[in-house]
Structure 1
Amino acid sequence: MTQTSLEARDGVDPPSTAPGAAPSAGGRDRIAPLYFTLPFANVALWLVWMGAGSFLIPIQVMGITGDTDPDALKNASAIGAALAAIGNPLFGQLSDRTRSRFGRRTPWVLACAGMAALALIGQAKADSILMLGLTWGTVQFILNGYQAGITAAMPDRVPPAKYGIFSGLIGLASPIAILLTAFVIGGVDMSRLGGDGVLGGFGGKFTGANGYYLLAGAVVLGALVFAFVSPEPSSKGMAVEKFVLKDFLAGFWVSPRKYPDFAWAFLSRFGVMTGYFITLIYSYFMLIDYVKVPEEDVNPVTGYLLVVSAAATIVASLVIGKVADRVRKVKPFVLASGIASGISLMIPLWWPTVGGLTAFNIANGFAFGMYMAVDMALITQVLPNNRDAGKDMGIINIANAAPQVAAPFVAAWIVDAAGYEGMFWTAGLIGIAGALFVIKVKDVK
């Protein structure tokens, strides 16, 4: 990419020699397992986000309220996202200060995976919107500790020359998780792909409590594979600053004036993700109320649309990361993908059918795959310094979590006031505005 290293930009020694710095990424043999374990750990995480968000929570809301109630879904989703926004920088900063023979991140990844699994099992029993919101909030809060740990592995352990390919591999996590979610939980309407019947779905076996149990097992497996197949170097010899509460709390703030690129990258991701989540949060209900899909067909139709989206995302993720490394530029790809993602949100306005949503999911899936393939590479290059990568990546990840807080409220208000048409217009414009912010990032090409 454009910077030889994060440490060089900060004017400090490489991490292998600087006291308190992150362990060196080392040679190819040391990072080789990460080519598999980082995407695998992220797949486990996205299985929870997509499995619960696309299927289990909307189905649970309908079971509790007896209706496609946007306000109930809003409340159940937003409580969780609000806690998630707090969790990521908190766990990131705690992991920065952790010293153990298993490294800084691994203890938190393992502990949070275990606690999140227990919370998912509890969520399976939620029988009210309040309880659903609280349990989902607990799951998201804890899983953001898991996410903070695996996200920081890239600036900790991956050489800058490999940022593009690793960003692309990590970007593959969401479409792979979407494919698995569609097949196992929803089933796939094969008649729309030239086949017959429904592939997967298993008769709705995983649309209730069993689905949550499956997700709980997946996140534990993801953590174990990450921890033991690609063990993190010991952090016991790293210096650690004396704990001062004032300094610890101050660590949750990165000055936009001092680090403007970091601030613009944050705003860009926030805008793109807000546009994305405004439509995602109500996709299940939108099929019933806007596209008029019969309720008994919603699961396999949702599964089919997710497969279409995932396939397009995979194509983009496989191609764009390598291209970005070759041309040594990421900004044009972030900008183009963000704008394309925003424009694609207009398709359902003009074509409110399953066919229109197929076109939308192809366009949006490819654009989002391009975005996910390069945005992590850009973010990694604008971190203030590598020694606080966990904390800084946690702050950046608020741009993932905070839109999930805002999106349910924005979408519910717009759907009430202007219908699903207004929701698509708003999501598209917010996404495009977010993409344009990346132009302000100066030190990354």
Structure 2
Amino acid sequence: MHTTPPAPQTRVPMSRIYLFALIELAALGALVTPLVVSLSLKVLQLVPETEKEGALGLVTALGALAALVANPIFGHLSDRTSSRFGRRRPWLIGGVIGGVAAAALIAVAPSIPVLVVAWVLSQAAYNATLASLSALLADQVPEEQRAKASGIFGAIGFLGLVPAMLVAALFASNLTVVVLAMPIVAVVIVVVVCLAIPDPPVERSDGEHGSVGQVFRAFLFNPAKAPMFTLVWVQRATMQFGYTVVSTFGLFYLMIRLNMEQVAAASLTSAATLAGAALNVVAAFACGYLASRRGNYGPFIVGSALLMGLSLLLKAFTQDLSVFWVSTLLAGFALGAYYAVDLALAMRTLPAGEEGKYLGIFNVAKTLPQSIAPAIAPLVVLIGGSDPVAGGDKNYTALYLVAAVAVLASLLTLPGLRRVLRRDVYDAGRADAAAAALKEEVA
């Protein structure tokens, strides 16, 4: 049977948490750069102008599917790794090395099928790093510091866009540099950080390697086995769904509701996205520190869901530019406030010995809505006929209302999370469970 290390009790230096976050920044930067520019440029090299949308959609969709599967699988594998180099470090480093190899294949890909293979490999590689990193947080960061860590990682998720945009701007004329720069930087950063952080090996009994079937079942879980984890997963997926609707359809909102030209709308959408991301970073840092001091995550979850719902309702019923700005900024702040506690809350619900697997599944709650929202939106905007605010044959009021209802309905999960929302209640529950286990062992 797997020997699970005890839950971390000793506070770690904040410098170590920032080193963990540096791994996140490097891996996300390497993963986001192709999505920002290089995949589009590569597709334009390989197919006629008229086929670019379909080709890029195919590449990114299959890559997203690879990410959904890879994250929990590699988290599961890292739980069961017993090398002298540690449980998580082999996957942290192996992931970014695989990412460089995949980037090289992207650079030289002669056709769309090869580009698909390269992007699928890239997604799988970097998700191995990200899944192992989340598990490393659960291994080493104690309960009273997890909200701070959650806030830092929530902010880093948006800061990861910065190096990607810089590389794309500075080397736009050299596709090879754009493709390879961030993956090479990621290897250097992750290797150096891994040499500086502890990751003690964990003993494992013979025969615990598990079957191939167990590995591929790593992205499945029984909600009845971890009911509170399931509720937190639903919370995260719903908040991400709401934000995806706000951010993804901002361009169309400006064109339909404000009658703006495409170029002007695209420029304004980019500015609004950056402003929302900046507020996300501020909220994640600030609320992470506040939540860590209070130990009560309930107010942050309620507040962030209410703000996100308000943002969606504002867009549903108005066609004013100032309302567009208010809505975008509210959504950015709301998601940042939620990211300040969501990872910390999830770590209170993880089954012992399966931290990597379940945190990998938890990461799916962030990525899956980014695929689902654009997929169902074309169906939702057909509900009820024309838009009651701006007219036309696409009902954007219905889209924002559906998203708002989903976000606000997620608050119904809170009664089921009472035992983990507050640190004092959570600690008392852990103490009772430990005492019961000891009593059973003595008996």
Letter in 1 for 2:124: F
CA-CA distance at 1:285 after TM superposition: 7.8
Bigger relative contact order, structure 1 or 2 (CA pairs below 8 A, ≥6 apart): 1
Letter in 2 for 1:138: L
Alpha-carbon separation, structure 1, partners of 2:317 and 2:345: 34
CA-CA distance at 1:229 after TM superposition: 2.4
Alignment of 1:23-102 (within 5 A): 25=8, 27-28=10-11, 31-57=13-39, 64=47, 66=49, 74-102=57-85
Alignment of 1:401-420 (within 5 A): 401-411=367-377, 413-414=379-380, 419=394
Q: Deviations over 1:12-35 (max 9, x none)?
A: xxxxxx97113764644x554422
Alpha-carbon separation, structure 2, partners of 1:117 and 1:287: 39
Tell me, yes or no, if the aligned pair for 1:182 and 1:302 is still in contact at 8 Å: no
- Most deviating of 314-323 and 148-157: 314-323
1:260 to 185, 207, 227: 227
Q: TM-score, normalised by structure 1?
A: 0.77
Tell me, yes or no, if the aligned pair for 1:182 and 1:307 is still in contact at 8 Å: no
| Number of residue-to-residue matches in the alignment | 408
Alpha-carbon separation, structure 2, partners of 1:350 and 1:68: 36
1:151 to 129, 134, 143: 134
Alpha-carbon separation, structure 2, partners of 1:205 and 1:312: 32
Tell me, yes or no, if the aligned pair for 1:175 and 1:314 is still in contact at 8 Å: yes
Alpha-carbon separation, structure 1, partners of 2:415 and 2:395: 30
2:434 alignment partner in structure 1: none
Q: Deviations over 1:251-281 (max 9, x none)?
A: 5443322321011112222222233335555
Task: Provide the secondary structure at the position in 2 that maps to 1:276.
Answer: helix
Alpha-carbon separation, structure 2, partners of 1:73 and 1:426: 28
Tell me, yes or no, if the aligned pair for 2:106 and 2:115 is still in contact at 8 Å: yes
1:315 alignment partner in structure 2: 282
Tell me, yes or no, if the aligned pair for 2:63 and 2:123 is still in contact at 8 Å: yes
Alpha-carbon separation, structure 2, partners of 1:126 and 1:357: 41
2:119 alignment partner in structure 1: 136
CA-CA distance at 1:177 after TM superposition: 1.9
Identity rate, percent: 25
Change (3 A) 1:19 1:52: closer
Task: Provide the secondary structure at the position in 1 that maps to 2:296.
Answer: coil
- The answer to whether 1:440 aligns with 2:416 is yes
Alpha-carbon separation, structure 2, partners of 1:346 and 1:60: 39
Tell me, yes or no, if the aligned pair for 1:168 and 1:321 is still in contact at 8 Å: yes
In angstroms, what is the RMSD of aligned CA positions?
Answer: 3.7
Alpha-carbon separation, structure 2, partners of 1:60 and 1:359: 36
Alpha-carbon separation, structure 1, partners of 2:282 and 2:71: 29
CA-CA distance at 1:243 after TM superposition: 3.1
**Rg (Cα) greater in structure:** 2
CA-CA distance at 1:353 after TM superposition: 7.7
1:277 alignment partner in structure 2: 244
1:398 to 348, 354, 364: 364
2:428 alignment partner in structure 1: none
Alpha-carbon separation, structure 1, partners of 2:159 and 2:371: 25
Q: TM-score, normalised by structure 2?
A: 0.78
Tell me, yes or no, if the aligned pair for 2:228 and 2:349 is still in contact at 8 Å: yes
Query: 5+ unaligned residues in a row in structure 2: which ranges?
Result: 384-392, 422-443
Tell me, yes or no, if the aligned pair for 1:25 and 1:31 is still in contact at 8 Å: no
Alignment of 1:286-365 (within 5 A): 292=260, 294-295=262-263, 298=266, 301=268, 303-349=270-316, 357-365=324-332
Q: Deviations over 1:150-192 (max 9, x none)?
A: 000111011111111111111120232234444553xxxxxxx
Task: Provide the secondary structure at the position in 1 that maps to 2:284.
Answer: helix
Change (3 A) 1:347 1:25: same
Letter in 2 for 1:375: D
Alpha-carbon separation, structure 1, partners of 2:49 and 2:394: 21
Task: Provide the secondary structure at the position in 2 that maps to 1:441.
Answer: helix
Alpha-carbon separation, structure 2, partners of 1:69 and 1:411: 22
Query: 5+ unaligned residues in a row in structure 1: which ranges?
Result: 1-17, 186-200
Tell me, yes or no, if the aligned pair for 2:21 and 2:153 is still in contact at 8 Å: yes
Q: Deviations over 1:114-139 (max 9, x none)?
A: 11122233334567666555433332
